[in-house]
Amino acid sequence: MQMSNYDGIAEISKNNRVPFHFENGEIEFYHGGNIRTLEEGKTSVVGQCYTALTGGMVYFHLPTPLVNYCAMNSTDELGRHQVRAISMGNIKHNVDFYIENYEEQSEFTQMRFAFSELDYFLPSSNACSLYGTEGNLTDLMFSRTPKEVVEFSFYYLERMINFTLRIYAEGKCGTRSTALTKTELLLKFEKTNDLDFFVRLFELVNDVFCFLCNRRNITLHSVTLDGERIQKYPLHKDRKTVIDERPVKTSQTLVIINKYKDNWESEKVIQKTIRYTALSARFEQLFLMFVNNKVSVFSVHSSIAARNLIDLKQSLHITAALEHYYREYIPDTPSEDAIEFYDEIKTLLQEYAENHTGKKKKKAKSLIKGISPEPSLMDKILKVYRGCPEWTGLDSVLDEWFGSQVDDLAEVANEWRNELAHEKGKYEPDKRVVSAIRLVEHLNYCIVLRQAGYCDQQIKKILEDLLVR
Mean pLDDT of 460-464: 95
pLDDT in the model for residue 170:
77
What confidence tens digit (pLDDT) does each residue in 347-359 have? 777 777 778 888 8
Nearest residue to 390 (alpha-carbon basis) of 463, 300, 450, 435? 450
pLDDT in the model for residue 403:
84
E strands in 355-398: 387-388, 391-392
Taking the alpha carbons at both ends of the chain, their separation in whole angstroms is: 29
What confidence tens digit (pLDDT) does each residue in 2-48 have? 678 899 998 888 878 889 999 999 999 888 777 777 778 889 999 98
Q: How far is CA 111 from the centre of its chain?
A: 15
What single letter denotes the amino acid at residue 433?
V
Q: Are strands 44-49 and 26-30 parallel, antiparallel or unpaired?
A: unpaired
Mean pLDDT of 262-280: 94
Q: What percent of the chain has pLDDT over 90?
A: 49
Q: Are strands 90-94 and 6-13 parallel, antiparallel or unpaired?
A: unpaired
> How much is the pTM?
0.86
Mean pLDDT of 385-412: 91
What confidence tens digit (pLDDT) does each residue in 165-176 have? 998 887 777 777
